[in-house]
Amino acid sequence: MPVSPFSGLHHVTAICSNAQRTIDFYTDILGLRLTKLTVNFDDPYSYHLYFTDDRGNPGTTLTFFVWPDAGPGQAGIGQTMLVGFSVPQRSLAFWTERLVHKGVKHENVFKRFEESVLRFRDPDGMLVELCAHPKDDPRAGWTGGGVAPEHSIRGLHHVTLLEDGYEDTAKLLTDTIGFRTAGQNGSIHRFETGYGGPGTYVDIHVAPDFLKGRLGTGTIHHIALRVPDDATENEYRSRIIAESLNPTPVIDRNYFHSVYFHEPGGVLLEIATDVPGFMVDQTYEKLGSEFTVPPWYEERKKEIQSVLPPVRIPPFPRQST
C-alpha cells in the first residue's frame, strides 16, 4: 500500500484557564519549549500558546486557547479525550520520579498495545500520557528544555477520540484519508498513517454509554493532521467535500494553512500544512521569547497586548533538572 501523504499528527489544540500556570507546567515540568506566545487568530483578545520541541517541528506541537471565563469542560462522546507524548523506552522511571518531585499526581504505569504508558492530568484536568514504544522514535531529544536529552519528550505520540462507535470514523480515516488499521486493545481501535510508529496514531475509544462531551477548560478543542503542502491539502479538501462533511475554506494561520471539518463521530479535525513553519516571523533563538501577532493584527499589537494579562516567559535554553 502506498504511504499516505498524511505523515501523522501536526498539532493538538486544547483549552486552558490560566496562561502562566500552563506555561509553567509544560515548560518547567514536561520540558517543552514555549515556541509562540501569540493570540487566537479568531479572537485576538485572548492568548494562544504553542509548546513544541526546540525548533517547532510539525508533530511536536501542543497548543492552548486561554479562555479564563469558559468554565471547566467535560471530556465525553464526540471529543478527543487525551493527548499522548512519545518518550524513550527506558525513561518512564525517570518521568515517574520527576512527576512525584514536581507534585503531579499520576496513575501507575500500564501496558497498552506494545507500549508502556504513564498517565496524569495537567493543571486544568486534561489527560496527558507519556508513552514509551518499543519502536524507536527517530526524533531527537534536546538539551534546552530542562530535561536531559536521553529522557526528553520526542513529540506527539497519539490522540484518543471518545466515541459511541467507530465504524464511520474508521471508514473516513482509512478510505478517505489513507490511515491503516493498526490493532485493537479492548475497546480501543488504533489507526496509523505515514510510516507508522509514534506520532502517527489516532485511537478511537468506543464507549457508547458515556456522556456527550462539553467544551471548556481542560478539554481538547481539535486535532490537526499533517500534510506537506497546499496542493495536498486542497486535494484532500476535495475528498472531504465528496464525503459531504462540509470543510471550511483554506484558512491562513500564518505558521501553516488549515482546513477544518467535523468527522462522523463529532470530533473537530484539521488538516494543516508543514509549511511555512514557526520561523516565518522569528529566528530559532527568538522563538517564543516575545509576544507576536500575525501581520493582519500588527497595527493593533500594542492595544491587544495592553488588555492581555502579562506573563513570564521561561528562559531558553534551560538547565537540566
Q: Is residue 197 situated within a structural domain? A: yes
Q: Give the residue from 249, 289, 288, 160 showing the smallest Cα distance to 213.
A: 160
Alpha helices in the chain, H assignment, sequence order: 19-24, 92-102, 167-171, 230-242, 301-307
Q: Mean pLDDT, consecutive 10-residue segments, the chain of 321 residues?
A: 78 98 98 97 97 96 97 96 96 97 98 96 98 89 91 97 97 96 97 95 96 97 97 97 97 98 98 97 96 97 97 91 77
Q: Is residue 318 situated within a structural domain? A: no
Looking up residue 112, the CATH number of its domain turns out to be 3.10.180.10
Q: Is residue 292 situated within a structural domain? A: yes
The pLDDT, as a whole number, for residue 2 is 52
Based on the structure, what is the number of domains in the chain?
Answer: 1
Q: Is residue 253 situated within a structural domain? A: yes
Q: Is residue 265 situated within a structural domain? A: yes
C-alpha cell at 262: 467535523
The pLDDT, as a whole number, for residue 50 is 98
Q: Is residue 3 situated within a structural domain? A: no
The pLDDT, as a whole number, for residue 135 is 78
Model-level pTM?
0.97
Between CA 102 and CA 123 the distance in angstroms is 12
Q: Is residue 319 situated within a structural domain? A: no
Q: How far is CA 154 from CA 53, 109, 200, in A?
A: 7, 19, 13
Between CA 99 and CA 106 the distance in angstroms is 7
Q: Give the type of residue at 172.
A: L
Q: Is residue 271 situated within a structural domain? A: yes
Range of the domain at 217: 9-307
